[in-house]
């Protein structure tokens, strides 16, 4: 059900940056896709996954629902919006442009890439904090950590800007708008056990300037803020609260439309995926013989449904690898170990069904990362172009063992080739290559005394081209990040851990303090 909205245009709210704690973990609404043994092992060695490692609040007892400062007025969607510039406790805090960047180029060998290493300089709660999606705009790479969003200059790793927030960031979109804006979801609650993720803030990644702010409202079981996710398509941000999704115009925060749970058909929202297109994931009639999942393509300006794909009975849509073409992970509700990848054409018809349980290679859903309540687009281990799915196979001989990238034809569902790198290292797809040199960009992880590499497999597979040989002096720092978040943009490779522990602040020589690494020629 789609409700179109008509409300006054809310102007962006000016104001200076401000600060926050980490919310408790939120319970996933998906019925399947629990953490597997591989994921648990990764958690134990330092890779953070949301439910297992997300830090609790700092427990100072503050639980106010009031806006930080200024008069407020009720918006048309029931949210509270600032009617005056934000004046938070640290409203005048500004970043001085300095950054804790350690020189990792000393002793760089011939042929190795130049690197920079940014260290964490943010005081974290005792249980640490999660690092979220990586974003790139010309000259800037940005990421949210705990209670701030930070932009680093891609040339040298120095800080370009910092936006502190009054609570921990609990969700971010995987991509910014085409003109470099994001909307992040965060909490202002400081008490332990309070999990509302009910604040939105627009940020311009090019400048670090804050735009409009909105406070979301709980409306009951099907429309609460304990499970809030954000996705961006074009100039629209989609915010799902449990089984309800609202779309807002990023320029001014105006609400465009709402999609609600179907009371008659028994279909409920599971999440939304953004990018060049907008997809909505739904679960229908859970627990009944006709249980199934749905994938819808929506118009991001109006919410009109362009097509609907329905899974086989007994299957649900778990994750979205790509919105264009539409490629999704589906799982059998009765047998959680049984999953597949489905591709959907522009009319909502099944294009191919990729059975990952057959053939010489084994695969783990989302590369064994599990699902701990993150958005439907948070699923590592895959990349997609117009005709091919590139999937990381399950490592052999342990979680840090060697593996391959397997290419599947989206038209037939059959594998085309598999490829590996020299030295028996683990690799994972990062992104598809450009049209001038098609194929897939992959990351050969730094491990066991081996430097990391950025490589490219051509569309026909074979031996990969080495684009970047990562710096020897950064090897131990890079290995300790466990390929948490990766990004390849502007011929530069960026990697961060998925989380930092609470002891990572202060000791600048400690590997656990390493926040972000970048490599370039």
CA distance linking residue 213 with residue 199, whole number of Å: 7
How would residue 520 be classed by pLDDT, with cut points 50, 70 and 90?
very high
Least confident of 9-23, 83-97, 472-486: 9-23
Residue 35 pLDDT > 80: no
| pLDDT at residue 511, as a whole number | 58
Residue 194 pLDDT > 70: no
SS3 201: strand
| pLDDT at residue 336, as a whole number | 85
| pLDDT at residue 512, as a whole number | 65
DSSP 40: H
Structure tokens belonging to residue 253: 């925060």
CA angle centred on 378, ends 374 and 380, rounded to 5°: 135
How would residue 288 be classed by pLDDT, with cut points 50, 70 and 90?
confident
Residue 93 pLDDT > 90: no
The overall pTM is greater than 0.75: yes
Please check whether residue 335 is in contact with residue 5, taking contact to mean a CB–CB distance below 8 angstroms. no
| pLDDT at residue 399, as a whole number | 82
Most confident range, picked from 59-68, 160-169, 194-203: 160-169
- Mean pLDDT calculated for residue range 399-406: 92
Residue 488, strand partner residues: 493
Nearest alpha carbon to residue 279 among 302, 254, 249, 300 = 300
> What is the distance in angstroms between the CA of the first residue and the CA of the last residue of the chain?
51
CA distance linking residue 196 with residue 473, whole number of Å: 42
Residue 410 pLDDT > 70: yes
- pLDDT over 70 percentage in the chain: 76
- Mean pLDDT calculated for residue range 162-167: 96
More confident residue, 266 or 268: 268
Q: Mean pLDDT of all residues in the chain? A: 82
Most confident range, picked from 19-23, 132-136, 286-290, 368-372: 132-136
Least confident of 8-17, 243-252, 363-372, 473-482: 8-17
How would residue 115 be classed by pLDDT, with cut points 50, 70 and 90?
very high
| pLDDT at residue 82, as a whole number | 41
Please check whether residue 147 is in contact with residue 20, taking contact to mean a CB–CB distance below 8 angstroms. yes
How would residue 190 be classed by pLDDT, with cut points 50, 70 and 90?
low
- Mean pLDDT calculated for residue range 97-101: 57
| pLDDT at residue 215, as a whole number | 96
- Mean pLDDT calculated for residue range 116-121: 94
CA distance linking residue 189 with residue 60, whole number of Å: 10
- Mean pLDDT calculated for residue range 367-377: 81
Least confident of 57-66, 218-227, 370-379, 497-506: 57-66
How would residue 437 be classed by pLDDT, with cut points 50, 70 and 90?
confident
Least confident of 74-78, 142-146, 235-239: 74-78
Residue 28 pLDDT > 80: no
CA distance linking residue 188 with residue 194, whole number of Å: 10
Contacts of 499 (CB under 8 A, 6+ apart): 47, 48, 53, 128, 129, 130, 131, 484
SS3 277: coil
Tens digit of pLDDT for each residue in 464-507?
Answer: 999 999 999 999 999 999 999 999 999 999 999 999 987 765 44
CA distance linking residue 240 with residue 272, whole number of Å: 7
Phi, psi values for residue 365, rounded to 5°: -60, 130
How would residue 402 be classed by pLDDT, with cut points 50, 70 and 90?
very high
| pLDDT at residue 127, as a whole number | 86
CA distance linking residue 464 with residue 461, whole number of Å: 7
Contacts of 434 (CB under 8 A, 6+ apart): none
- pLDDT over 90 percentage in the chain: 63
| CA-to-CA separations, 199 to 9, 183, 196, 225, in angstroms, rounded | 19, 10, 9, 9
Residue 184 pLDDT > 50: yes
Nearest alpha carbon to residue 363 among 36, 30, 34 = 36
- Mean pLDDT calculated for residue range 199-222: 95
């Amino acid at each position: 059900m789609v409700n179109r909205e008509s409300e006054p245009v809310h102007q962006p709210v000016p104001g200076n940056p401000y600060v926050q704690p980490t919310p408790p973990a939120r319970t996933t609404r998906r019925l399947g896709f629990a953490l597997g043994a591989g994921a648990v092992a990764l958690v134990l060695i330092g890779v953070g996954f949301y439910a297992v490692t997300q830090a609790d609040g700092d427990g100072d007892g503050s639980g106010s629902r009031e806006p930080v400062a200024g008069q407020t007025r009720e918006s048309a969607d029931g949210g509270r919006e600032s009617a005056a510039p934000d004046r938070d406790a640290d409203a005048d805090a500004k970043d001085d442009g300095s950054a804790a960047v350690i020189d990792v180029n000393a002793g760089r060998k011939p042929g190795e890439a130049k690197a920079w290493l940014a260290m964490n300089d943010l005081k974290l709660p005792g249980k640490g904090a999660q690092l979220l999606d990586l974003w790139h705009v010309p000259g800037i790479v940005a990421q949210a950590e705990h209670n701030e969003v930070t932009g680093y200059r891609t040339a040298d790793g120095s800080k370009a800007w910092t936006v502190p927030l009054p609570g921990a960031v609990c969700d971010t979109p995987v991509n910014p708008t085409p003109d470099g804006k994001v909307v992040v979801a965060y909490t202002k609650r400081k008490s332990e056990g309070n999990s509302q993720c009910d604040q939105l803030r627009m940020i311009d990644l090019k400048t670090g300037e804050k735009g409009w702010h909105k406070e979301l409202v709980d409306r009951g079981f099907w429309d609460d803020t304990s499970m809030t996710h954000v996705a961006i398509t074009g100039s629209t941000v989609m915010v799902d609260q449990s089984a309800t999704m609202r779309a807002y115009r990023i320029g001014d925060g105006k609400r465009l439309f709402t999609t609600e749970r179907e009371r008659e058909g028994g279909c409920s929202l599971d999440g939304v995926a953004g990018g060049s297109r907008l997809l909505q994931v739904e679960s229908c009639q859970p627990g009944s013989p006709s249980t199934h999942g749905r994938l819808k393509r929506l118009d991001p300006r109006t919410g009109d449904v362009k097509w609907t794909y329905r899974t086989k009975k007994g299957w649900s849509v778990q994750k979205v690898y790509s919105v264009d073409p539409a490629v999704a992970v589906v799982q059998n509700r009765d047998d959680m170990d049984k999953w597949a990848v489905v591709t959907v054409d522009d009319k909502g018809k099944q294009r191919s069904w990729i059975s990952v349980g057959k053939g010489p290679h084994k695969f783990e859903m989302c590369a064994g990362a599990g699902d701990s309540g993150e958005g439907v687009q948070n699923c590592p281990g895959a990349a997609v172009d117009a005709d091919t799915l590139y999937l990381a196979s399950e490592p052999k001989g342990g979680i840090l063992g060697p593996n391959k990238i397997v290419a599947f034809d989206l038209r037939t569902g059959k594998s085309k080739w598999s490829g590996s790198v020299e030295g028996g290292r683990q690799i994972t797809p990062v992104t598809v290559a450009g049209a001038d040199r098609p194929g897939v960009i992959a990351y050969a992880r730094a491990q066991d005394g081996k430097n990391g590499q950025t490589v490219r497999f051509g569309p026909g597979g074979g031996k990969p081209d080495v684009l970047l040989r990562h710096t020897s002096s950064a090897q131990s720092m890079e290995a300790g990040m466990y390929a948490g978040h990766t990004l390849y943009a502007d011929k530069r490779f960026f990697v961060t851990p998925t989380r930092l522990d609470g002891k990572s602040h202060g000791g600048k020589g400690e590997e656990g303090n390493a926040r972000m690494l970048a490599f370039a020629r």
